Amino acid sequence: MTDLLSSYRFGDLVLPNRVVMAPMTRVRATADGLPTPLMAAYYAQRATAGLIVSEGVQPNRVGQSNPNTPGLHTEEQVAAWRPVTDAVHTSGGRIFAQIMHGGRVSHPDTTGLRPVGPSAVAAVGDVFTPGGPRPAPVPRALETAEVPGQAGSYGEAARRAVEAGFDGVELHGANGYLISQFLSSNANLRTDRYGGSVAGRIRFAVEAAAATVDAVGGDRTGIRLSPGGTFWGVAEDDVPTLYAALLPELARAGVGYVHLEATSDETVLTALRRAWPRTLIVNPTLPMGPKQTGREDADRWLGLGADLVSFGRAFIANPDLVERLRTGLPPAPVDESTYYQGGAAGYLTYPAYQHVA
């Protein structure tokens, strides 16, 4: 069976192991979306991962979901990312930027703009704002002529990511954000070419992926998907049919990897493994669910055909997670109250394993 700690080649990158650090929002950027020295230290601490995928990075101002998240739509943001990517590379790591357009999961108090989405249907739940949680507002439905520009924003952000020193990008097509909203059968009520049929609902994802591949190349492009996920109130009718249509189009566009979340049952996910001809990353446990991914989960999915396995929360409290997986050391507990509070506490203050004599 494939060993989690064996090397893997992805394009020009040789990953020293098959452990991927999954993207996780930590809200340590400045109010204007600039990465900070704290972020450089945080990612460098975790550079032993085969691949790091950064927190979600907004491709434009209207695409920002949460306050104090970083962007890739100004020259100042590009310049501020360079110390982060340099720190990871100096520490021997590899890092992709996750390009995340929040779509309807946003608020004017955060961006100064009314959120946009495929249709004028509000997300379910409260969104984060600088003044605290607020009910998700009804977004403005994008005009047909506007949609290609939002799809193209992923490619524009990808160009800036590579300029900033990232090794590639991952499109956030999961968890109820803009690509996921277009895939959805209840957030996307459109009757133009971007809605209605399965072919219409996958069009935005395919156009965003194609724009990104055109910008930086397929070996620098991945996409994260959550088949059947219900985050922020999205629903997807006939998940096997939807994703059986989407994956071949992503392959045709030249996407290098798909990153699947365990939001459907194993039968669906293994069928998608068979349908996807290139690198597959699997996150074996439900994001923000009751269980963190462990070594047994990873080994199981490598046996089921995954090429790489992503670990999310386990990386927060365990900057030395790869070594703990290698030696069977127990994971450190995480302080959930520090996930989004800002500052170094609960961000840079988790040490490597301390051996007790």
Catalytic residue numbers?
Answer: 177
Contact 308, 51 (CB under 8 A): yes
d(CA 250, CA 238): 19
Give the residue from 247, 346, 243, 259 showing the smallest Cα distance to 311.
259
Give the residue from 173, 215, 168 showing the smallest Cα distance to 51.
168
d(CA 332, CA 324): 10
d(CA 65, CA 79): 22
Give the residue from 167, 196, 168 showing the smallest Cα distance to 184.
196
Give the residue from 272, 309, 279, 350 showing the smallest Cα distance to 41.
350
Contact 347, 32 (CB under 8 A): no
Count of beta carbons in the 10 Å neighbourhood of residue 36: 17
Type of residue found at 288: M
* Residues found in the chain: 357
Q: Taking the mean position of all CA atoms in its chain, how far away is CA 47?
A: 17
Identify the burial level of 9 via C-beta atoms within 10 angstroms of its C-beta, where 0-12 means exposed, 13-18 middle and 19 or more buried: exposed
